[in-house]
Structure 1
Amino acid sequence: MLNPSLDISRVRAISIDLDDTLWPIWPTITRAETVLLDWLTHHAPATAALFSNTEALRAIRNQMVTLRPDLKSDLSAMRRESIRFALTQAGDEPALAEPAFDLFFAERQRVELFDDAHDTLAFLSARYPVVALSNGNADVHRIGIGHYFRASISASVFGIAKPDVRIFHAAADAAQVQPHEVLHVGDDATLDAQGALDAGMQAVWINTANHPWPHGALPHATVDSLTALCKLMA
């Protein structure tokens, strides 16, 4: 699906989502939760017994969305406080939340990039300043892809999450261009594509599962892979 309004000649910078755009996120989170549970088994056995599987750990993390709405844009703080809450409920030492989170966070950075991610980032960064723009808490430098990016902006640090136009405008500022000169790339129809459109950017929606577009105005292009994005931009 190609919208005739796509104007590649107008593009002076790229902003790109991370989770589920450059790598699949849920295998990474599941593995990190497994490592966390194993650590709790040895260091906080009462918590490990009370929350005896990764589903239970994820459920209490999701519960924190209701308990601490002030942390909704900071996934690191949300996860840390969910661990602290679990420890407290089980009667273990709440201060163990810090080393437990550090372990989880380190494992969360061990992502497996899609096969065409490196080639895509190399292609884009050779032509434009590229800014990572994520609601997640991935660290592009710890992952080993930081050299492709002019800047990396996360909702956890910025304090505002996509689809709010302010985080998109921050990406344009980081690239030292105007919003209309940015092409945003991401997998989420609402958070990425619609958010970018609302911010005055051009948008490419990576739709690997062939979902129907759920909004009104179309993104400027829809592709089914990062490789297809490079062909579009060539």
Structure 2
Amino acid sequence: MLHRLMTNAHTLDLPRIRAITLDLDDTLWPVWPAISRAEAALAGWLAAHAPATAALFSDAQALRAIRQRMETLRPDLRHDLSALRRESIRMALAQAGDDPLLAEPAFEFFFAERQRVDLFDDALAALDFMATRWPVVAVSNGNADVHRIGIGRYFKASLSATQLGVAKPDARIFHAGAQAAGVAPGQVLHVGDDALLDARGALDAGMQAAWLNTVGADWPHEGAPPHATVPSLSALCRLLA
């Protein structure tokens, strides 16, 4: 891992970096604990306000299954995770005989809980390091809200697949991130945890890429690897210093 890190570090063109685009889920915090906590909170809300639905969909797997069905029924919502979640709740309410209008407050309760994330230990220091040197733009396929989470001050802009109608690894979302930062794609370093969605997508969009590879996995794709492969955000900041 150290050899790979040092080898890839030499391919970073530091003077060319004029902005950073940054993934959110599993880059700044682990996403599944937040989602699991939000789903548990939603189950409690349904038990209090829609008991028939709570009984019919008594575990998280049942609600996830109906959400997967919604993805099939509404492919137009494939890039809008909030709408998918809201409409899956509406479907569950209708199937159980509860008021489908409860989908709105139920989703808002879920969404508020989804923003309660536990940042990685080095995330705030890394954000501070990057934001004091370059404009930082969040580029995410998810529905985390950096302002509700409390880290909005570090970002020049925050873009999502919901807003743009395209998701990583589509080059258009990366190019939108560069535009929001006010630079050309070739002047951006994109940072993220997913080898395909983040690293490969950024490379294909003409950006430099830093892959946050916490488990020491091998690069799984054909062609050139990312410009940097790092085990942590703090390690990335050391490369950029």
- Shared fold, TM over 0.5: yes
1:228 and 2:217 correspond = no
1:6 and 2:1 correspond = no
Matching residue's letter, 1:22: L
Q: Give 1:63 shift.
A: 2.1
Q: Give 1:142 shift.
A: 0.6
- Deviation track 1:43-88 (CA, whole Å, cap 9, x = no partner) reads 1111111100112112211222212111110100010011011111
- Aligned equivalents of 1:220, 1:173: Cα separation in 2: 21
Q: Give 1:154 shift.
A: 0.8
Q: SS in structure 2 opposite 1:133?
A: strand
Q: SS in structure 2 opposite 1:128?
A: coil
1:71 and 2:77 correspond = yes
- Deviation track 1:180-223 (CA, whole Å, cap 9, x = no partner) reads 00000000000000000010000000010112211122111100
Percent identity reads 70
1:133 and 2:139 correspond = yes
Q: SS in structure 2 opposite 1:95?
A: helix
- Deviation track 1:144-184 (CA, whole Å, cap 9, x = no partner) reads 00000000001112211111000000000000000000000
Matching residue's letter, 2:187: E
Out of 18, 25, 29, the residue aligned to residue 19 of structure 1 is 25
Runs of 4+ displaced beyond 4 Å:
none
Q: Which residue of 1 aligns with 2:190?
A: 184
- Aligned equivalents of 2:48, 2:164: Cα separation in 1: 35
Q: Which residue of 2 aligns with 1:215?
A: 221
Q: Which residue of 2 aligns with 1:36?
A: 42
Q: Which residue of 2 aligns with 1:53?
A: 59
Which stretches in structure 1 are left out of the alignment for 5+ residues?
Answer: none
Q: Give 1:16 shift.
A: 0.4
1:161 and 2:180 correspond = no
Q: TM-score, normalised by structure 1?
A: 0.98
Q: Which residue of 2 aligns with 1:123?
A: 129
- Aligned equivalents of 1:218, 1:149: Cα separation in 2: 27
Q: Give 1:139 shift.
A: 0.6
Q: Give 1:5 shift.
A: 2.8
1:194 and 2:235 correspond = no
Q: TM-score, normalised by structure 2?
A: 0.95
- Deviation track 1:78-106 (CA, whole Å, cap 9, x = no partner) reads 10011011111111111100000000000
Q: Which residue of 1 aligns with 2:99?
A: 93
- Aligned equivalents of 2:82, 2:118: Cα separation in 1: 20
Q: SS in structure 1 opposite 2:191?
A: strand
Q: Which residue of 2 aligns with 1:206?
A: 212
Count of aligned pairs between the two proteins? 234
CA RMSD of aligned residues (A): 0.8
Bigger drift between 185-194 and 84-93 goes to 84-93
